[in-house]
Amino acid sequence: MQTKMPNVRIVQAGAVLCVTFDRPEKKNALTGAMYVAATEALRQADRDSSIGAVVFAGAGGIFTAGNDIADFLDGATALKEFPAFTFIKTLAACETPLIAAIDGIAIGIGATMILHCDLVYAAPDTLFRMPFVDLGLVPEAASSLLLPRRIGMAKAAEFLLLGETFGADDALRLGLANAIVPAHELHGVALERAGRLAAKPRAAIAATRRLMRGGSEDIQARIAEEARLFAIAMQSDEARAAFAAFLGKTR
């Protein structure tokens, strides 16, 4: 089964649902329509008993450059209802195992979403960046909670406050990735691991994921608080100047 949504390719291969960001001419920058498609894929996975795992990937050797800034600004009048935030909440609550196959660049949500994935595989040249502060904004996807919890406050400050870029080697060393995989093998490895997860007893997988992750209340509460502060930051002079500068460079 294959579905082509706006710039998102959704393919079910056996018990694995593959969600591929497919806008390589724009470095797979995510639009509202792409978030809607990805959100529906996650919901489909949770309600369809034939799906045992979801793999996220990007077309053209790029995972995603994060939000399409122009599209985001056009649709950000009601941020809590904006498709990006709906996607984040759905991702954090997803009951189906999530695997990411990442190459090229993973910026913004492309980097923070790995905190919600069960398995992450990265190509050797992958670069991650969380440039929220540089844009006058605050982090999202509960990364302000999960990243310090995962890698410690010092390294989290480098990535969230300084906005430093880090590579696949750092991701592996810090426990943000499971393995570094040659780019030509990346999708195959992710699919194989996803297939192995999907073949295991579903109830046992679901229960173990819940035990490993703990309660979701603190994560959903942090997502909501980040969204509140994000909405305030969007109106700031700093954010407006940063967006104007960014859009000026891309035109």
Give the model confidence (pLDDT) of 36-79 as tens digits: 999 999 999 999 999 999 999 999 999 999 998 877 777 555 55
pTM reported for the whole predicted model: 0.93
Q: Which of 219, 225, 230 is nearest to 82 (CA)?
A: 230
Helices (H), 48-176: 69-75, 83-93, 109-112, 143-151, 153-160, 168-173
* pLDDT score, position 229: 93
Say if residue 7's pLDDT is above 70.
yes
Q: Tokens representing 158?
A: 């480098």
CATH numeric code, 2-250: 3.90.226.10
* pLDDT score, position 194: 98
Q: Which of 63, 53, 72, 73 is nearest to 28 (CA)?
A: 63
* pLDDT score, position 236: 87
* pLDDT score, position 240: 83
Average pLDDT over residues 96-117: 98
Give the pLDDT band of residue 238 (cuts 50, 70, 90). Answer: confident
The residues that bridge with 10 in the sheet, in sequence order, are 3, 19
Say if residue 248's pLDDT is above 90.
no
* Domain spans of the chain, in order of start: 2-250
